Amino acid sequence: MRFATLAFAAGLALGLHTARADEGMWLLTSPPAAVLKSKHNFEPSKEWLLHMQRSVVRFETGGTGSLVSADGLVMTNHHVGSDSIAKLSTPENDLLAKGFLARTHAEELKCPDLELRVLWEIEDVTDKVRGSEKPGMSTADAGAARRKVMSEIEKASQEKTGLTSQVVTLYQGGKYHLYRYKSFTDVRLVFAPEQAIAFFGGDTDNFEFPRFNLDCAFFRIYENGKPLKAEHFLKWSANGAADGESVFVFGHPGRTRRLYTTDHLKFLRDVEVPERLNRTRRSEIILQGFAGRGAKFDYMAKDDIHGVANGRKVITGLLQGLQDPRLMATKAAAESDLRSFIEQSDKAREWGSAFEAIANAQNAHRAFQVERQTINALAGSGALMSRAHAILQLGTELAKPSSERLTEYGDSRLPAVYLNLYSPEPLYAELEIEKLASGLGLIAERLGGDHPIVVAALDGKSPCDRAAEAIAGTKLFDVAARKALVEGGIKAIDASNDPLIAIAKAIEPRWRELRKQFDDTVDSAEKASYAKLAAARFAKFGESVYPDATFTLRMSLGTVKGVERDKTPAFTTIGGAFDRAAERSEQVDFKLPDSWNKAKGSLDLKTPFNLIADCDIIGGNSGSPMVNKSGEVVGLIFDGNVYSLTGDVFFDPVNSRSVAVDSRGLMAALDTVYGATELVKELRK
């Protein structure tokens, strides 16, 4: 793979603490006005930004979408919607393989457990959260106080407004914002192409460019049984974008850690990321072996395999960046500059202590990180095991006041918990056995066969036999059985002889010990210390510091442009897809669907298909709209190039690119390949 160059490293020296070029995932309440005006000759109004905010949708499964019609039509990526598409499929009617088109509202398919959210209001609650910290409090007590008041703020907001409310931690604890969302759970599938064209090129072309993908899907939001009458939605650009044109991406980047200290990054490099990569590789191999048993098993596992393979490539790229001494050296240089500023300030003692506190937190975390992540992996090893773990957690947490619960079980978070817990999605016993056996095997490997948790979880059997027994004996396939346990509370759970609940109970005491240890010694210390460093950065750089990504709405800006290093152009064409298929005809991932081969003679092969721009994106931005200055859709983000893989911690201002489906290619496919007349008409309104 091609990664960091000396030019990349040199660029980073200036770009780690303050934005360089078009780096940045900006809050819509604090856009980079100076850069927008000087480089893009654009001064977005508050009304324009609010319109964008309320036109963009968050997929709670992980990803972004956008409202693109007055009747609640939502555009996203096929790979963002694939989880729902798979749940709507059967072996006899595989919508991932064959695609789907609803020509009328009546034909649209209701997703079993999909939640979409639109960010409606934002309120700065930093003073309220930080005000919970009292002089003389220990780090752990201060952290607990912050979590308690955040839960209280969320609950009060939700009760007052009826909007789903979430307090978001920004700058790792430097600021806190209350986000209020309109939440929708009646969501229906409208269109999805065949996976063969949505993921054309497979793993070979993933994170590369040129690309030739129709990675799109359309859903519709319903409210009170009727299509949503959207107050805000994005218009479609008839002309698309031009090479060199300014473009803007609005989405929900999942997580970045660019403001981490050097010691914190070393912890990622040496402990957290290698362990995560090993687990991902293990999962990928196990799923591939499972799928290789036959067509039936391949059908069950293929959506999981795509996700795990993509994750493996992302984590590999991140680790290679962290292991590059040049990149770490640029981080250390930027940190040294900040330390010098702090030493000369009147806050030297207060701010300067943060570096050591963060280092100490990482040292403490090293002692239990692998055990904690391994137990977490078992708790989430399959849809049924994860639900057993959630049921057991709810039994304990619901007996407490909302503000005293674990954050994820506060009153404001419960609707999302129940939506997943009670999902009627199809589940496959064979796949659940495979995943649970993997989780049990992993914990035995990491902790040792004689560890009390391992002994209790296995109950005298091998991981494979225990998993087969547990899945055969569980009643949790039945949604009503899950509800009965939750509604019966801890008494019903304690009385249950369900084998999955028994495994959850085996890990529960240690899971809670490790969760408390992490909250008290790591998370609380990090948030207190990073709040100090955030104050120092604000003092030094002013408002030119953007917060790390938190799967909340951000704006990225950039220019449509190719990559000079690779001599790659900014655009590919529909004709290029046919050429690529012909040159790689021996590979299954490069076979175009029959619908495309039949339509070839009717397509304008010069139509732009995919494009790249130097907008700063990361995982979670998938499905984000790329718009022009008029707020019109010119592209649909679906990937980054290979140089973007270090974007979690390092941004390459020269070579990193976001990859999108061109609005013209997408419309041509809908119109000519799929004959989606009604959908095309709706988009062009």
Q: Which CA distances in Å does 183 have to 50, 290, 500, 535?
A: 17, 37, 31, 34
The C-alpha atoms of residue 67 and residue 75 are separated, in whole angstroms, by 7
Same domain, 172 and 190: no
At residue 9, the pLDDT reads 38
Tokens of 416: 């999302």
- Does residue 456 fall inside a structural domain? yes
Q: What is the pTM of this model?
A: 0.94
Q: Which amino acid is at 275?
A: E
SS (H, E, C) 119-165: EEEEEECHHHHHCCCCCCCCHHHHHHHHHHHHHHHHHHHHHHHCCEE
Please check whether residue 125 lies inside any domain of the structure.
yes
CB 322 within 8 A of CB 268: yes
Q: Of 135, 166, 184, which residue is a domain's last?
A: 184
Last residue of a domain, one of 184, 211, 241: 184
| 353-400 tens-digit pLDDT | 999 999 999 999 999 999 999 999 999 999 999 999 999 999 999 999
Q: Can you tell me the distance from the alpha carbon of 78 to that of 55, in angstroms, rounded to the nearest whole number? A: 19
Give the residue-averaged pLDDT of 300-312.
94
The mean pLDDT of the chain is 95
- CA 232 – CA 66 distance, rounded (Å): 10
Exposure class string for 258-288: b at 16+ Cβ within 10 A, else e? bbbbbbbbbbbbebbbebbbebbebbbebbe
Query: Is residue 535, in this structure, part of any structural domain at all?
Result: no
Is residue 20 predicted with pLDDT exceeding 50? Answer: no
> Within this chain, do residues 130 and 14 fall inside the same structural domain, yes or no?
no
Q: Are residues 235 and 348 in the same domain?
A: no
Give the DSSP per-residue string, 25-49.
Answer: -B-TTS--HHHHHHHH-----HHHH
CB 42 within 8 A of CB 263: no
Looking at 21-35, 149-163, 382-396, which range is the least confident one?
21-35
Question: Does pLDDT of 32 surpass 50?
Answer: yes
- Measured between alpha carbons, how far is 236 from 243 in angstroms, rounded to an integer? 18
The helix/strand/coil state of 518 is: helix
Question: What residues contact residue 650 under an 8 Å CB cut-off, 6+ apart?
Answer: 4, 12, 16, 258, 321, 327, 330, 331
| pLDDT over 70, % of the chain | 97
116: pLDDT confidence band, cut at 50, 70 and 90?
very high
* Whether residue 139 sits in one domain with residue 107: no
Q: Are 169 and 147 in contact (CB under 8 A)?
A: no
Note whether 504 and 649 are same-domain residues: no
| pLDDT score of 542 | 84
Question: Residue 189 is part of which domain span?
Answer: 6-115+185-258+547-684
Query: Do residue 592 and residue 657 come from a single domain?
Result: yes
Residue 296 lies inside a defined structural domain of this protein: no
Nearest Cα to Cα of residue 113 among 423, 415, 478, 421: 423
Specify the number of domains making up the chain.
3
Query: Does residue 539 fall inside a structural domain?
Result: no
* Shared domain check, 609 and 498: no
Is 350 in the same domain as 439? yes
Q: What is the pLDDT of residues 61-100, one digit of tens each?
A: 999 999 999 999 999 999 999 999 999 999 999 999 999 9
Provide the pLDDT for residue 16.
41
Regarding whether 482 and 348 lie in a shared domain, the answer is yes
Round to whole Å and give the CA distance between 543 and 510.
43
Amino acid at 210: P
- Type of residue found at 630: S
Contact between 621 and 252 under an 8 Å Cβ cutoff? The reply is: yes
Q: With bands split at pLDDT 50, 70 and 90, how would you rate the model's confidence at 543?
A: confident
Amino acid at 39: K
Q: Residues 582-623: pLDDT tens digits?
A: 999 989 999 999 999 999 999 999 999 999 999 999 999 999
Q: What is the DSSP code string of 35-94?
A: HHHHHH-----HHHHHHHHHHEEEETTTEEEEE-STT-EEEE-HHHHHHHHHHT-BTTB-
Give the CA distances from residue 672 to residues 33, 115, 191, 677, in Å, rounded to whole numbers and listed in that order: 41, 31, 15, 9
Q: What is the mean pLDDT of residues 127-134?
A: 95
Name residue, tokens 């009385």: 495
Residues 58 and 91 in one domain: yes
Cβ pair 629, 42 in contact under 8 A: yes
Asked if the structure places residue 365 within a domain, the reply is yes
Max Cα-Cα span within the chain: 76
**pLDDT at res. 3:** 31
Tell me how far the alpha carbon of residue 417 is from its chain's centroid. 17
- Pick the last residue of a domain from 132, 158, 184: 184
277 in any annotated domain? no
Judge if 446 and 400 occupy the same domain: yes
- Structure confidence by residue, pLDDT tens digits, 216-242: 999 999 999 999 999 999 999 989 999
User: Is residue 661 domain-resident?
Assistant: yes
DSSP string, 464-480: HHHHHHHHHH--TTSHH
Q: What is the pLDDT of residue 21?
A: 52
Query: Domain check: are 588 and 666 in the same one?
Result: yes
Q: Read off the CATH number of the domain in which 254 is found.
A: 2.40.10.120
In order of 558, 644, 654, the CA distances from 241 in angstroms are 12, 22, 20
Question: What does the pLDDT read at residue 143?
Answer: 96
